[in-house]
Amino acid sequence: MNASQSAGALHPANEALTRNERIVFNLYTISALLVFVLMMLLGLTMRMAQSNWAGVLPNVFYQIMTAHGAGMVGTIGLATSAVMWFFLRKYVKLSLSIFLANYVLFMLGAVALLAAVFIGGYAGAWTFLYPLPQHPMGLWSGNAAALFMLGYLLIGVGFLLFYLDVMRAIIRMYSNLGRALGLQWLFSGDIDKSHPKTVVASTMVAITNSIGILAGAIVLVMCLINIYFPSVALNALLVKNLTYLFGHMFINASIYMGVIAVYELLPRYSGRPYPISRPFLWSWAASLVMVLIVYPHHLMMDYVMPHWMLVMGQIISYCAGLPVFTVTVFGALANIYRSGMRWNMPSRLLVLSMFGWAAGIVPAIIDGTISVNKLMHNTQWVPGHFHFYLLLGVLPMVLALMFHVIGQNAPSRSSDKLSFPLYILGGLIFVFSFLAAGHISTPRRYAVHLPQWLLYDQFGSIGAILLIVAMLVFALHIVVGLLRSPGNGDSAHATG
Amino acid sequence: MILQNQIWLLTLTGIGLVSLVFIWIIVQAGKPADSAQVQKTAHTIRRWWFLALVLLGVGVAYATLKPFPIADQNASSPAGQIVDVVGRQWSWTLSQNQIKAGVPVQFNVTSLDVNHGFAIYGPNDLIVTQTQAMPGFTNRLHYTFTQPGKYRVMCLEYCGVAHHGMVTEFEVVGGQP
Ligand SMILES: [Cu+2]
């Protein structure tokens, strides 16, 4: 072991959590883990229902589906914002109160969402695609739909506050957002090698996701007005555009926040420097633009869309893969190649996250082709690819930070030797059963399945069970570790 | 080979290649080597890899966008058959239930209430084509059936509690059996 791999370098002093920071970080982490497990159980319930292994009434199925979607998207956003906060606070001065406010607003929003779904019966899917929430055919009330939207607004306000604080702090330190993104080095000049990748990524996310959340807020307000004043009809196509701009942006922001864990932690475990470079800056600058204009790939089957926008959706989908494949994943692989990598839970999860992102993006990009989308749109191909990079990409980024913080840097314990491969195995069975079902045209979001689809559902259920068992072991370790940890993060010897 | 199988094969190949690269890197990760040398080589490989991806992307984009896979929505239709399709919670209405094979058909698809997805499943239970059914808009879908038989329409945009039951059928007649 060389010096750079010692515990001190793994847990630098400027990353230590103060007492208050630790309380808030633990709130985020433990809540996120709890909700992840609960939402996974809801997901399993849906797959079991489709398998004919569990009797679930269609109205309950669609309530579960709505809760699972909203819960997972929100929680992955919450968990990855904790990743971003954890590293960004080393470079700029963030407000802990605002970070806490985001948590409180999130929890209030979550209560509203759950009440709307499980008490109010709202089952308009997490995308609340206009005018379905207003058109429940008697299954839920206008108030239930409004409560759901109010929950989203609360969560959105929390995130917006957090991002505004991030931008304020970044501007204070780097004088403007362009310099924080490193735009001054795009074409020429000596790049300041100490400029943190975390700052570049955080700036990009704060800008783009604020725009995404604003688009979402506009739709929510429009829909709220429409619920109580139905005569104010909305343009369904315009609302769809704004909804998918928001939805696409929010879920992508979680990847861009989560990947900060890879930038920060990977070089510590590989022991090899992972410096900033011009292609890195280009890739983030390009992603900033692309992530905002790629959303029409969700509207390829809306033939009345301006066709240039659909062409843009396809081309930008392809282009968006370039930064991933040629900069982030390639850079991560070059960082660990013959590095003398030390394998333990954080480092394994980091490598898994790169695999999940890179492999999961393959079916996604292919589906971003209009002629393919004609056959795959809204089949289980879609949950197949996004579960691939969320479950095997983004969640491992979050888990890597959690295992890092609890100081599990020693070679794995025996339970990890079992749970880590189990997570991958279960995850792969789960996502491939979606993709395989999509390949034979199984629709997504169906409470009841035809006989020829059942085998895929059953494999999916088994994969989900394996994955959830592994996730429970992870969650237990992390929660115990967090509650026992002294909080400065430098506990490698305590638990190692 | 049907398009679904081509897509499936391409995806498995892509994921397989990604997996192989990862396995190779992971196997190599334990043997330390000079960082500067590795990074220099990596930069060279990256340049070629980037170029290869760009060329691949441009080629595929050109091949898949020309001819453009979506019918011109404004031009008057050259189609020999026109079928009006209306979706509502939770049923489909088609202006005719028999369609001739070998003759281009234009589906004018709209909805009376919420968003629905108009997907046509072939006799082999695979999707042959689809478009969205949206309130206030009419999507024109062009298709020429080659194979006669029973086709099923399913809703592919979540539309409420009976979404999965929003199914209808039509028949394609004539052509080569
Ligand atoms: Cu429908």
Candidates B125, B156, B166, partner chain A, best to mutate (most A CBs within 10 A):
B156
Question: Is the pLDDT at A487 greater than 80, yes or no?
Answer: no
Task: Give how far A100 is from chain B: nearest CA, Å.
Answer: 36
Taking the C-alpha atoms of residue B104 and residue A279, their distance in angstroms, rounded to an integer, is: 49
Candidates B22, B68, B107, partner chain A, best to mutate (most A CBs within 10 A):
B22
Query: In this complex, do A354 and B114 lie within 8 Å of one another by their Cβ atoms?
Result: no
Q: Identify which of B25, B64, B126 has the shortest CB distance to residue A337.
A: B25
* pTM score of the predicted model: 0.94
Query: In this complex, do A370 and B65 lie within 8 Å of one another by their Cβ atoms?
Result: yes
- The per-residue pLDDT for A484 is 83
Mean pLDDT across chain A: 93
φ, ψ of residue B32 to 5 degrees: the values are: -70, 145
- The per-residue pLDDT for A496 is 32
Residue A307: enclosing H or E segment and its boundaries? helix A307-323
> Is the peptide bond prior to A185 cis by the omega test (within 30 degrees of 0)?
no
Candidates A219, A234, A304, partner chain B, best to mutate (most B CBs within 10 A):
A304
Q: Does B26 touch chain A (CB under 8 A)?
A: yes
Residue A28 vs residue B39, higher pLDDT: A28
Can you tell me whether residue A412 is helix, strand or coil?
coil
- The per-residue pLDDT for A5 is 43
Four-point Cα dihedral A389, A430, B21, A332, nearest 10:
30
Taking the C-alpha atoms of residue B118 and residue B133, their distance in angstroms, rounded to an integer, is: 6
Can you tell me whether residue A379 is helix, strand or coil?
strand
B174 confidence band (pLDDT: 50, 70, 90): confident
Q: Which residues of A touch B119 (CB under 8 A)?
A: 378, 443
Residue with the two structure tokens 């058909």: B105
- The per-residue pLDDT for A492 is 41
Judged by phi (left if over 0) then psi (alpha if -120 to 50, else beta), residue A88 lies in: alpha
ipTM, interface predicted TM-score of the complex: 0.95
Ligand 1 centroid, distance to A123 Cα (angstroms): 14
Q: Give the pLDDT confidence of A360-413 residue by residue, as tens digits.
A: 999 999 999 999 999 999 999 999 999 999 999 999 999 999 999 998 666 567
Which of B 91-110 lie inside 8 A of A, CB atoms? none
Four-point Cα dihedral A401, A403, A404, A406, nearest 10:
120
Q: Give the pLDDT confidence of B101-126 residue by residue, as tens digits.
A: 999 999 999 999 999 999 999 999 99
Residue with the two structure tokens 């026109």: B82
Question: Is the pLDDT at A7 greater than 60, yes or no?
Answer: no
**Mean pLDDT value across residues A1-28:** 79
Q: Identify which of B28, B65, B113 has the shortest CB distance to residue A135.
A: B113
Q: Give the pLDDT confidence of A321-366 residue by residue, as tens digits.
A: 888 888 999 999 999 999 988 888 999 999 999 999 999 999 999 9
Q: Give the pLDDT confidence of B67-89 residue by residue, as tens digits.
A: 999 998 987 767 789 999 999 99
Q: Does A4 touch chain B (CB under 8 A)?
A: no
Number of neighbours of residue B136 by Cβ within 10 angstroms: 13
Q: What is the DSSP string of A54-93?
A: S---HHHHHHHHHHHHHHHHHHHHHHHHHHHHHHHTTTS-
Ligand 1 centroid, distance to B163 Cα (angstroms): 5
Q: Sign of dihedral through CA atoms A475, A476, A481, A483?
A: positive
Query: In this complex, do A351 and B22 lie within 8 Å of one another by their Cβ atoms?
Result: yes
Query: In this complex, do A131 and B135 lie within 8 Å of one another by their Cβ atoms?
Result: yes
Closest chain A residue to the Cα of B154, Cα to Cα? A443
Ligand 1 centroid, distance to B114 Cα (angstroms): 8
Q: Does B112 touch chain A (CB under 8 A)?
A: no
- The per-residue pLDDT for A76 is 97
- The per-residue pLDDT for A342 is 86
- The per-residue pLDDT for A322 is 87
- The per-residue pLDDT for A210 is 97
φ, ψ of residue A322 to 5 degrees: the values are: -60, -50
Task: Give how far B69 is from chain A: nearest CA, Å.
Answer: 6
Task: Give how far A303 is from chain B: nearest CA, Å.
Answer: 5
Q: Give the pLDDT confidence of A440-453 residue by residue, as tens digits.
A: 999 999 999 999 99
Q: What is the DSSP string of chain B?
A: --HHHHHHHHHHHHHHHHHHHHHHHHHHHTS---HHHHHHHHHHHHHHHHHHHHHHHHHHHHHHHSS-SS--SSSPP--SEEEEEEEETTEEEES-SEEETTS-EEEEEEESSS-EEEEEE-TTS-EEEEEEE-BT--EEEEE---S-EEEEEEE-S--STTGGG-EEEEEEESS--
Residue with the two structure tokens 């491939």: A432
Q: What does the DSSP 8-state code read for residue A443? A: B
Q: Identify which of B49, B137, B138 has the shortest CB distance to residue A236.
A: B137
Question: Is the pLDDT at A494 greater than 70, yes or no?
Answer: no
B35 confidence band (pLDDT: 50, 70, 90): confident
**Mean pLDDT value across residues A187-209:** 96
Ligand 1 centroid, distance to B161 Cα (angstroms): 9
